[in-house]
Structure 1
């Protein structure tokens, strides 16, 4: 498979079978959290657990990626992107679909852990495929589009999940079966990118680590951890409990508030390629943290659900700006044969943030309340932006 010429006119290569498979796979990913998030108060009551216990439904699907992403990155480089992606889609779909059968809470958590392992495989292979096939500013274009699709799913699926959970607590999980036709489509049309592959685990991992300097690793992997912990802790966990507990909002209305922020994320992500012509990837990430800080502080101070919804535009835009540039920055710094490994380490950092965020927010809110946590999260985002600006000098 040939790589797109960077001198060609920038446009979205919709004819690419790789891009179509990646976008369809990416569209499924928000099912993992965004589809479930608005129903957290319902799940809490259905299983007779606490806010922290209900947050485990989000954490369980995210924890495996912390540890398995590097392993899956190694397998992706050794066995091929196509094989790992198709297997991951099937596993993710079947494990989620089984929850429709109303198993006990421990079994649900176990199935979510299985889904999490498969989700890590989907994340590593999709981003790696885009890094393989596209380069330079066009890589930013397609990575931005990929994040926009991710955000678009996160915009729609809270509404879908909020509506389905009012029918029955297990109804949202039927949506996971949509992964099967996507897996069949990938099996049929996806071409395996050509390139050198590494075969020795220890040598491979050592070379992946050495491909990035310590400074670059702190900036890129640290940013991934922080931005995802803030998004999943504040938006997908803190806001649903705040809106339900303080204002008595229904799951559908909670889903609507969450969706508004994701609209901003979708729009911001589509502009990454344009911004990359004028700013470095690190500069775009720093701007994303500033927008995130403004949104979190605004949500913490907002006195009404409407103003909270407007504040979500800030951290939605921040996440949409930062994520494509984190992936582009890593892809630009490592050779093809180590790209899946380097991006898998980004996956570990992101999954660590996504798993820690929900548990930390739910646990700390017992003593401080969700509003105080939103304000503190805004401070963390602002400090992260300042650190990036200092490291860029």
Structure 2
């Protein structure tokens, strides 16, 4: 059952959840425009090229590693306290880059930041799925994706300006997380969660019975889409700064503004998710996601100017804006409430594992083929994926029953969860 009626200040609570969601995009976006300057600062460090890329994505590995444990803690001991602790840790670990002098120390701080981001992301999304049901849930999840993108629109140009001042300065942005703490304390109660039968698991056997209800094949597909989608999406914040600098000589401010085009388009797409979901199944929206990203990456790959790259980033960003929102809504619709934190943590884990793996997977390819060819090639692959999922949506989904192809949880079908 929904806990929305128990919120004493529902508007403020929703705003707090949405603003807290912005912290996740900040984890990487804040320092992305500073990467070329960080590489110059630590040019003499062994394996500087790879390590500097990992400064942006190291947190992703620890989000991936920590999310399952955090999801279990959130389900067993509650969401609220974990969100508060994670927010404080986020500010301290993220801001420490301002004073650290070693590339290894910065990487260590990014690892701690990853654990904090995992705590924020899992608990915020779990609270949204706990507080809201059906139509309202999809709407709020769409707004969550939009706010994450809006955070990028605001922060990326700001981070670019700060990076031009000095590579350390953008790290201070992480400390703004502390501003949200009072609102979290006073507006976000611990939800009174129930499983679909009305009883929370009280023993190991009960928990095993609940886990047995999981649509494992569907969750495996969702996790795979999150992993692959992020490996590809994170080519933008990791590779675009170097791509623009080498091709056009763009400054940090220009790079930040260009990246903001991607996140801004993603925000608009996320806001439209609820409406689009009325007409398309989740599989259809996966096809739409890959289609937009395919066009955008191809445009980036064949471009030689900042303006055309920005157009490609905007188109690709519109596609990526559907990705997390769609997968979160899909998971919320097909999993029992009592263990939904664990289910969401699986997606969080694979999502950010994809971020961590992105430079490790893409860098050898781009070193061999060049960044332009790599972007164009990935665009072609995404186009093929869009066709496959479009055909799957047509041939496996009845026109009037968006998600009846997932019989594991007929009570919680994505169709019933759409708005």
* TM-score of the two chains, using structure 2 as the length reference: 0.86
Moved more, 221-230 or 57-66: 221-230
Work out whether 1:377 is the aligned partner of 2:372.
no
Q: CA deviation at 1:133?
A: 1.5
Counterpart Cα distance in 1 of 2:16 and 2:201: 25
Work out whether 1:89 is the aligned partner of 2:92.
no
Q: Find the residue that maps to 1:192 and give its secondary structure.
A: coil
Counterpart Cα distance in 1 of 2:3 and 2:118: 25
* Structure 1: 5+ residue stretches without partners: 6-12
Q: Find the residue that maps to 2:10 and give its secondary structure.
A: coil
Q: CA deviation at 1:28?
A: 2.0
Q: Find the residue that maps to 2:29 and give its secondary structure.
A: coil
Work out whether 1:25 is the aligned partner of 2:20.
yes
Moved more, 351-360 or 110-119: 351-360
Counterpart Cα distance in 2 of 1:205 and 1:115: 32
* Structure 2: 5+ residue stretches without partners: 195-199, 397-419
CA 1:193–1:162 in 2, change beyond 3 Å: closer, same or farther? same
Q: CA deviation at 1:203?
A: 7.1
Q: CA deviation at 1:162?
A: 1.0
Are the counterparts in 2 of residues 58 and 358 from structure 1 also a CA contact under 8 Å? no
Counterpart Cα distance in 1 of 2:326 and 2:365: 31
Q: 2:351: which partner in 1?
A: 350
Provide Cα deviations, 1:10-53, integer angstroms capped at 9, x if missing partner.
xxx99344322211211222221111111110010011253322
Q: 1:212: which partner in 2?
A: 215
Q: CA deviation at 1:381?
A: 2.0
Moved more, 116-125 or 351-360: 351-360
Provide Cα deviations, 1:369-393, integer angstroms capped at 9, x if missing partner.
1111111221332233234335442
Q: 1:270: which partner in 2?
A: 271
Of 221, 231, 252, the match for 2:223: 221
Of 66, 77, 80, the match for 1:79: 77
Provide Cα deviations, 1:275-315, integer angstroms capped at 9, x if missing partner.
11111122112211111111111111112111011111111
* TM-score of the two chains, using structure 1 as the length reference: 0.92
Counterpart Cα distance in 2 of 1:61 and 1:153: 18
Which 4+ stretches in 1 moved above 3 angstroms? Answer: 1-5, 13-18, 196-210, 389-392
Are the counterparts in 2 of residues 229 and 356 from structure 1 also a CA contact under 8 Å? yes
Q: 1:230: which partner in 2?
A: 232
Q: Find the residue that maps to 1:88 and give its secondary structure.
A: helix
CA 1:206–1:177 in 2, change beyond 3 Å: closer, same or farther? farther
Provide Cα deviations, 1:194-221, integer angstroms capped at 9, x if missing partner.
014546679747844751241x124322
Are the counterparts in 2 of residues 55 and 362 from structure 1 also a CA contact under 8 Å? no
Are the counterparts in 1 of residues 23 and 117 from structure 2 also a CA contact under 8 Å? no
CA RMSD of aligned residues (A): 2.2
Of 115, 124, 127, the match for 1:126: 124
CA 1:365–1:51 in 2, change beyond 3 Å: closer, same or farther? farther
